[in-house]
C-alpha cells in the first residue's frame, strides 16, 4: 500500500474552471449522429423531434456544457445550405472521410440547434475553411444569428425558424494542417484573418472565434499563429491531441484486449497531455501574458482499432476501466491548466472513439467514461484550489504516477477527484484541509477490473457506487483500491 499525504488550502484559488472543459464533440461519422443522437421523428425509439430521449436525458444528467459539430474532417466539406429546408429535397452527398456512406443531410443546422436546446448546452460550430468560402461561412452566421430582414434571415424564417439562435463558439477551420486543406501555418493564419473579418456579430450576438491550432506537439504551428494574431482577431486556438496506446497509427491496438504493459503505456501517453499543454501555453504566454487568448483542447481521447466486424470508417470502439482512468487523468490535467485551457471536447459523444454512450437499436449503455464525467461534474464553474500527480513510480517496465488528482470549491462545497492509476497498489491517502471547515464528507467510486466495460448484455457492470471516506478535525482519510476513479465531496 502506498501512503500519500496531501495538503489542500481552499484559500489558494488558482483559477476558474470553465464548465466547457467538460465539453463534447459530435461528428457526422459512423453512428454518432445518425442511429446515435438522431433517429428521426418516425422512429419507434422514443424521441423528441427525432432526437433520442435517453441520450438527451443522459447528457442533461452530466450537465453537458457544450457540443462541437458537424466535425472534424466532415466539417471541412460541409455546406450548410445542403442541410436546411424540406428534408426530402436536401442534397445527398458522399461522406468521403468516413466510410464513403451516403449523407442525406437530414440532420442539419435546425436539428443541431434543437438538440442543443433540449440538452441545454452551448452549440459550437466548426466552420468549413477547407472546401468552403468566406461568403458561405459569413452567410451561415447570418442565417443563424440575424434578427431582422436579410437574405439569410429570410431564408431561415422560410424554413420555419422565426427568431435567430444565439451562437457563441465558432471554429474557423478544422485541422487545416491536415484534412482541412494541408495548409502551412503561414498560409492558414492569413486565410484565418480574412475569414474572421466576415464573421460578424449580428443583432447583439457575440461570437467567440476559435482558430485552428496545433496537432499534438507541433509548437511551430502555435508560434506562427500567435505571432500573427491579436486578441481582436481571435478568442482561442484549438489543440487536437489523442491517446494512441501503441503510438503507432497503423496498429493502435484493441479497446478490450491489452496486457499490463499496454495499459501502462496508454496512461503514460495520456499524461503527455500535460507536457503538450505546458509547451503550447509557454508559447502563448510569450505573446499573450494576460491570458486573453484561450487554449481549447478540441479533440482528445483514446483512439483504438475498430471493434472486429465493424466498418473501419465508423471508428466504433468499446470503452473499459482503462478509458475511465484516461478520462480522469485528462480532466485533472485540464483543471490544472484551467487558467489557459478554457474548453475541452472529448471525441466523440456517441458510438465513436472514446464515446460517452453506445447504442444498438433501442438499447443504450453509458460507458465508464460517461460515469467519470458524472463524478467530475461538480468541478464545473468551481475555483481550482489544488492539483497533484505523484511521481512516476508505479507500473512494470513502464512507470507511471499512481495518483492523479485535482480539487475545487464552489458554493461552500469542496470537490476532490482522484484516480488510482496502478493495477496493483492501493493508495492510502491522508489529506489535511486548510481554509475550509468541512463537517461531513461523502464519496463515490468507479472501480472494476481494468478490462471491464458496460455492454448491451451487462449495461451496469461499471457504475459509480457510494464509497467510505472519513473526516475528522479537517483531516480526510480515504483508501483507494487499484484502478479506480473517486470523487469526494466535503461540505
Ligand atoms: O475524431 C475523428 C477525427 O479526428 C476528426 O474528424 C478529425 O478532426 C480528427 O483527425
pLDDT, tens digit, 9 for 90 and up, residues 321-371: 999 999 999 999 999 999 999 999 999 999 999 999 999 999 999 999 999
Q: Which of 139, 175, 378, 425 is catalytic?
A: 175
Cβ–Cβ under 8 Å, residues 269 and 247: yes
| CATH architecture under which domain 18-382 falls | Alpha-Beta Barrel (3.20)
Spacing, Cα 72 to ligand 1 middle (Å)? 5
- Residue range 135-159, pLDDT digits in tens: 999 999 999 999 999 999 999 999 9
Contact 347 CB / ligand 1 (< 6 Å): yes
Which helix (H) or strand (E) covers residue 76, if one does?
Answer: none
Q: Whose CA is nearest to atom 8 of ligand 1?
A: 72
Give the residues across from 79 on adjacent strands.
none
Q: Tell me if residue 175 is catalytic.
A: yes
What is the model's pLDDT at position 229?
A: 97
Q: How does residue 201 score in pLDDT terms, banded at 50, 70 and 90?
A: very high
Out of 347, 353, 354, 356, give the residue to mutate to test ligand 1, the one with the largest number of ligand atoms within 8 Å of its CB: 347
Question: What is the mean pLDDT of the segment spanning 25-40?
Answer: 98
Report the pLDDT value the prediction gives residue 474, as an integer from 0 to 100. 94
pLDDT at 310: 96
How high is the pLDDT of residue 291? Answer: 96
Q: What is the 3-state secondary structure (H, E, C) of 374-438?
A: HHHHHHCCCEEEEEEECCEEEECCCEEECEEEEEEEECCEEEEEEEECCCCCCEEEEEEEECCCC
Average pLDDT over residues 71-94: 97
pLDDT for residue 411? 96
Report the pLDDT value the prediction gives residue 258, as an integer from 0 to 100: 97
Kindly indicate the confidence band of residue 289, based on its pLDDT and cuts at 50, 70 and 90.
very high
pTM (two decimals) = 0.97
**Ranges in the chain annotated CATH 2.60.40.1180:** 2-9+386-490
Question: What topology does CATH give the domain 2-9+386-490?
Answer: Immunoglobulin-like (2.60.40)
pLDDT, one tens digit per residue, over 232-272 is 999 999 999 999 999 999 999 999 999 999 999 999 999 99
Q: Quick one: average pLDDT of 36-65?
A: 98
Ligand 1 atom closest to Cα of residue 174: 8
- Centre of ligand 1 from the C-alpha of residue 181, in Å: 14
What is the pLDDT of the chain when averaged over all its residues? 97
As a whole-number percent, the residues of the chain with pLDDT over 90 amount to 98
**Does 174 sit in the ligand 1 pocket, CB within 6 Å?**
yes
In this prediction, residue 430 carries a pLDDT of 97
Please, where in the chain does CATH 3.20.20.80 lie? 18-382
For ligand 1, atom 4: residue with the closest CA:
72
Pinpoint the alpha helices (H) of 198-259.
Answer: 219-228
For the segment 393-432, what is each residue's pLDDT rounded down to a tens digit? 988 899 999 999 999 999 999 999 999 999 999 999 999 9
Is 299 one of the catalytic residues? yes
391 CA to centre of ligand 1 in angstroms: 32
Quick one: pLDDT band at residue 473, thresholds 50, 70, 90? very high
- Element (H or E) spanning 479, and its range? strand 475-480
Alpha-carbon separation of residue 232 from 123, 196, 202, 235 (angstroms):
22, 10, 17, 8
Beta bridge partners of 487: 417, 444
Q: Is the separation of the CB atoms in 27 and 348 below 8 Å?
A: yes
Please count the residues of the chain.
Answer: 491
pLDDT of 253: 96
**Contacts of residue 55, Cβ cutoff 8 Å, sequence gap at least 6:** 36, 37, 350, 357, 359, 364
The single residue of 27, 103, 142, 299 carrying the catalytic annotation is 299
Beta strand pairing call for 51-52 and 47-48? antiparallel
Among 71, 78, 177, 349, the mutation site with the greatest number of ligand 1 atoms within 8 A of its Cβ is 71
Q: Work out which ligand 1 atom sits closest to the CA atom of 175.
A: 8
Per-residue pLDDT of 164-192, as tens digits, reads 999 999 999 999 999 999 999 999 999 99
pLDDT tens, residue by residue, 290-318: 999 999 999 999 999 999 999 999 999 99
Amino acid at each position: 500500500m502506498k501512503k500519500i499525504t496531501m495538503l489542500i488550502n481552499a484559500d489558494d484559488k488558482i483559477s476558474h474552471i470553465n464548465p466547457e472543459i467538460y465539453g463534447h464533440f459530435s461528428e457526422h461519422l459512423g453512428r454518432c449522429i445518425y442511429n446515435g443522437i438522431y433517429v428521426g421523428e418516425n422512429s419507434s425509439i422514443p424521441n423528441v423531434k427525432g432526437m433520442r430521449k435517453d441520450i438527451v436525458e443522459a447528457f442533461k444528467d452530466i450537465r453537458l456544457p457544450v457540443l462541437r459539430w458537424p466535425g472534424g474532417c466532415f466539417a471541412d466539406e460541409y455546406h450548410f445550405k445542403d442541410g436546411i429546408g424540406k428534408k426530402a429535397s436536401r442534397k445527398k452527398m458522399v461522406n468521403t472521410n468516413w466510410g464513403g456512406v451516403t449523407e442525406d443531410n437530414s440532420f442539419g443546422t435546425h436539428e443541431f440547434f434543437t438538440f442543443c436546446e433540449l440538452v441545454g448546452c452551448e452549440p459550437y460550430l466548426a466552420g468549413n475553411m477547407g472546401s468552403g468560402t468566406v461568403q458561405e461561412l459569413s452567410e451561415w452566421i447570418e442565417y443563424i444569428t440575424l434578427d431582422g430582414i436579410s437574405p439569410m434571415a429570410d431564408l431561415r424564417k422560410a424554413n420555419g425558424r422565426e427568431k435567430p439562435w444565439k451562437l457563441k463558439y465558432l471554429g474557423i477551420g478544422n485541422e487545416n494542417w491536415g484534412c482541412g486543406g494541408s495548409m502551412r501555418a503561414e498560409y492558414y493564419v492569413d486565410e484565418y484573418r480574412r475569414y474572421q473579418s466576415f464573421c460578424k456579430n449580428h443583432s447583439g450576438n457575440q461570437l467567440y472565434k476559435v482558430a485552428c491550432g496545433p496537432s499534438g506537439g507541433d509548437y511551430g504551428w502555435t508560434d506562427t499563429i500567435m505571432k500573427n494574431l491579436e486578441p481582436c482577431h481571435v478568442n482561442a486556438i484549438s489543440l487536437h491531441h489523442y491517446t494512441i496506446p501503441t503510438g503507432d497509427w497503423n496498429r493502435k491496438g484493441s479497446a478490450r484486449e491489452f496486457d499490463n504493459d499496454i495499459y501502462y503505456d496508454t496512461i503514460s501517453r495520456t499524461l503527455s497531455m500535460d507536457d503538450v499543454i505546458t509547451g503550447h501555453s509557454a508559447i502563448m504566454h510569450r505573446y499573450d501574458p494576460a491570458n486573453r487568448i484561450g487554449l481549447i483542447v478540441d479533440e482528445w481521447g483514446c483512439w483504438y482499432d475498430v471493434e472486429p466486424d465493424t466498418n473501419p470508417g465508423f471508428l466504433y470502439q468499446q470503452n473499459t476501466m482503462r478509458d475511465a482512468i484516461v478520462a480522469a487523468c485528462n480532466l485533472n490535467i485540464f483543471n490544472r491548466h484551467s487558467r489557459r485551457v478554457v474548453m475541452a471536447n472529448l471525441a466523440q459523444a456517441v458510438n465513436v472513439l472514446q464515446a460517452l454512450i453506445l447504442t444498438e437499436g433501442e438499447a443504450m449503455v453509458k460507458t465508464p467514461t460517461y460515469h467519470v464525467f458524472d463524478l467530475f461534474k461538480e468541478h464545473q464553474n468551481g475555483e481550482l484550489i489544488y492539483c497533484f500527480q505523484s511521481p512516476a513510480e508505479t507500473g512494470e517496465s513502464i512507470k507511471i504516477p499512481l495518483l492523479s488528482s485535482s480539487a475545487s470549491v464552489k458554493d461552500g462545497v469542496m470537490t476532490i477527484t482522484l484516480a488510482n492509476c496502478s493495477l496493483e497498489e492501493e493508495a492510502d491517502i491522508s489529506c489535511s484541509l486548510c481554509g475550509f471547515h468541512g463537517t461531513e464528507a461523502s464519496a463515490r467510486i468507479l472501480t472494476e477490473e481494468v478490462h471491464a466495460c458496460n455492454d448491451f448484455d451487462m449495461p451496469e457492470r461499471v457504475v459509480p457506487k457510494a464509497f467510505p471516506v472519513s473526516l475528522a478535525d479537517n483531516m480526510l482519510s480515504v483508501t483507494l483500491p487499484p484502478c479506480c476513479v473517486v470523487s469526494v465531496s466535503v461540505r
